[in-house]
């Protein structure tokens, strides 16, 4: 079973608030990813990292930012949440084989 | 052109039948190929990986890879209603080896 943890599982927040979605993995994987997925829709890569202090934007333009100060931790921050940010956010990590996903954070911005 | 193409379905098969799911990819340099299963409201779960041409079997699942045709498939034998889910094809190891490219998924319905 994959050891990748996301918190919170569900979050309802008001417009304009700053939020940080947490993602941690205990497998020592170098590569970590953030995906955004709306219900019934495809995965969109928004950020990825291939090691400490390395982060790259993904294929989907996003107003979020990420950091990778420690191997195990890859948080995603939205400085000012908007209703258009309402979605499911999935974190994943990979040690060279397939990617393992966390349980996701379902974000609703009201 | 998308990196990974899948038929969105839905693909409907009766219980006990073989379900065949297909995927094509555009980066000829890709080296690693994966199938994920995603139940509604859940995260994707890795079910098969394949790295060389040919077939790889794991229980009721068989992954098939043809690099010359840039084609990956997943066969599910003796399909069960619990197999009803969206199946995602993913590819990595190409020109951007740090990234996984996911298809949009094929929805499978197994009818009792």
- As a whole-number percent, the residues of chain A with pLDDT over 70 amount to 98
- Decide if A99 touches B, using CB distance below 8 A: yes
| A48: chain B residues, CB-CB within 8 Å | 98-99
In chain B, the residue whose alpha carbon lies closest to the alpha carbon of A41 is B104
- As a whole-number percent, the residues of chain B with pLDDT over 90 amount to 86
Contact yes or no for B70/B25 (Cβ under 8 A): yes
Label residues B87-106 b or e (16+ Cβ within 10 Å = b): bbbbbbbbeeebbbbbbbbb
Other CB atoms within a 10 A radius of the CB of residue A32 amount to 26
Which B residues, 54 through 83, put their C-beta within 8 Å of a C-beta on chain A?
A: none
- Per residue in A38-66, pLDDT (tens digit) is 988 999 999 999 999 999 998 887 889 99
- Per residue in A92-105, pLDDT (tens digit) is 999 878 999 999 99
The rounded mean pLDDT for chain A is 94
The rounded mean pLDDT for chain B is 94
Q: Considering CB atoms only, which of A39, A100, A103 is closest to B46?
A: A100
Query: ∠A93-A8-A40 over CA atoms, to 5°?
Result: 70
Q: Dihedral through CA B27, CA B20, CA B79, CA B55, nearest 10?
A: -60
Q: Considering CB atoms only, which of A40, A43, A102 is closest to B102?
A: A43
Is a pLDDT exceeding 60 seen at residue A24?
A: yes
| A99: chain B residues, CB-CB within 8 Å | 34, 46, 90, 100
B59: Cβ–Cβ under 8 A, 6 or more apart, which residues? none
Determine the pLDDT at residue B8.
87
Q: What are phi and psi of A83, to 5 degrees?
A: -55, -30
């Amino acid at each position: 079973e994959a050891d990748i943890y996301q918190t919170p599982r569900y979050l309802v927040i008001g417009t304009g608030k700053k939020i940080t979605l947490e993602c941690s993995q205990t497998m020592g994987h170098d590569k970590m990813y953030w995906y955004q997925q709306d219900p019934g829709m495809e995965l969109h890569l928004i950020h990825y990292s291939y090691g400490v202090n390395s982060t790259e934007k993904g294929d989907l333009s996003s107003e979020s930012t990420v950091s990778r100060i420690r191997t195990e931790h890859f948080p995603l921050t939205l400085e000012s949440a908007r209703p258009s940010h309402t979605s499911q956010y999935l974190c994943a990590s990979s040690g060279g084989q397939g990617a393992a996903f966390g349980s996701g954070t379902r974000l609703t911005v009201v | 052109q998308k990196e990974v193409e899948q038929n969105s379905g839905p693909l409907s098969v009766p219980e006990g039948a073989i379900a065949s799911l297909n995927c094509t990819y555009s980066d000829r340099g890709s080296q690693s190929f994966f199938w994920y299963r995603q139940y509604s409201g859940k995260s994707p779960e890795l079910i098969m990986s394949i790295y060389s041409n040919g077939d790889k079997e794991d229980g009721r699942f068989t992954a098939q890879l043809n690099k010359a045709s840039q084609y990956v498939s997943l066969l599910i034998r003796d399909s069960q209603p619990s197999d009803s889910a969206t199946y995602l094809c993913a590819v990595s190891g190409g020109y951007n080896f740090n990234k996984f490219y996911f298809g949009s998924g094929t929805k499978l319905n197994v009818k009792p």
